[in-house]
Amino acid sequence: MAKPQIGQSPPLYNIPNFFECDNSEILKRLALNHAGIAYLPKSLVGEDIKQGRLISILDNYMASTFDISLFYKRREHYPARLSLFKDYLIEKLEARLATKRKAESP
């Protein structure tokens, strides 16, 4: 299948039969048992992909995007979990932006 060119919309696919579930572990088990395709986070299926139990398809497909805002009350000391979560979000965002800039540069 040819990749869409810049400015073109990606192809749409009609999937006549599907199973909808909000439990990623169940979807993973179904995929491992040859029940179809599952849209799952790489953090959940990375080892299965590495071991050859699952294969990754539609690697550039993104089902949705969303904004994240982090609000917290200013104070002298924060719980460690808040600081760690904030640092994690900033690190991931900076890495994504750097990757995006690199891909867009000539």
User: CB–CB of 53/32 below 8 Å?
Assistant: yes
pTM over 0.95: no
CA dihedral 105, 93, 88, 52 (to 10 degrees): -70
Q: Which helix or strand (DSSP H or E) is residue 103 part of?
A: helix 80-104
Task: Note down pLDDT in tens along the chain; length 106 residues.
Answer: 555 566 677 677 777 788 888 999 999 999 999 998 898 988 899 999 999 999 998 777 777 777 778 787 888 888 889 889 889 988 988 998 888 888 887 7
